[in-house]
Amino acid sequence: MTSKDLPGDFEQRALELLPWYVNGTLQGEERELVGHQVLASLTCRKELERLRRLHQLMQRDDAEAVATDREFDRLMARIHASEASPQSAAAVARRGFPWMPYALAASVAASASALLWWGTLTPSASPHTYETLTNPAPADAAAARLRVLFAPGVTGAEQRELLDSHGLTAVSPPAEDGVVTLAFPGSADRAAIVAALKRDPRIRLVTTPPGSDGP
């Protein structure tokens, strides 16, 4: 407030600041100005009442159903998968941990694996024959494979993080029912990967297709 301000200017400034007077975040001189104008001006008082009503309406509980536990489990699974992947280790290392060189080396390996994963999703880059659940496995299915169905709401980014964390590679696009066929990494402990996937809340179903030499 300055001596040059006219009474109308005070009212205009108070009207402008009223929303934050209502939500209790206005402080100091501005709070004093609005408080004074609310006492002095009928226009300010009317507007204050309206905004208070708006505030009350917007604060009321929506009584929404929040599946907090399930969603938190999903988030933690995503975080664990991300941190289990060497990419994340590199990210942590960048923040200054002493094992940074090892993590960076691992990050390179993980990036290569991620590129392979994306490569397999690109038809022109993929040498694999697509298969469906109803068709027999193609003749080149000598490698161990498994099929997974992701839980509803799991995003593409989460799926990629999860598969990367186990070194799994998609060998076909998702079937009509959402099932994705995956290949194990060469020297993996397949039983351990399947067990981990079965425990993961982001996965609804894990199966080993017939004809595969999976676990």
Partner 1 sequence: MKPSSGSRVDSLASDSDAEAALVARVVARDQSAFAELYGLYRRRLARFLGRFLGSPQVIDEVINDVMFVVWQDASRFELRSKVSTWIFGIAWHKALKALDRQKRDAPPLPSPTEIARPDEAASALEIREWLSHGLDGLSPDQRLVVELTFFAGCSYQEIAQIAHCPVNTVKTRMFHARHRLRDILVSLDTVAREKAP
Q: How far apart are CA 213 and CA 128, in angstroms?
A: 17
Question: Does 35 contact partner 1 by CB under 8 A?
Answer: yes
Total residues in contact with partner 1, by rule CB under 8 A:
45
> Which range, of 49-57, 100-108, 171-179, 187-195, touches partner 1 by CB under 8 A?
49-57
CA atoms within 13 A on the CB side of 81: 26
Residues 94-123 that bind partner 1 (CB under 8 A): 95
- List 2, 3, 59, 134, residue binding partner 1 (CB under 8 A): 59
Q: How far apart are CA 159 and CA 186, in angstroms?
A: 20
Question: Does 76 contact partner 1 by CB under 8 A?
Answer: yes
Q: How far apart are CA 212 and CA 149, in angstroms?
A: 17
- List 7, 9, 45, 72, residue binding partner 1 (CB under 8 A): 72
Cβ atoms of 130 and 116 within 8 Å: the answer is no
Residues 6+ positions from 170 with CB-CB distance below 8 Å: 117, 120, 121, 163, 180, 181, 182, 183
Site residues (CB under 8 A) for partner 1?
16-17, 19-20, 22-28, 31-32, 35-36, 39, 46, 49-51, 53-55, 57-60, 62, 64, 66, 68, 71-72, 74-76, 78-79, 82, 91, 95, 152-153, 155, 158
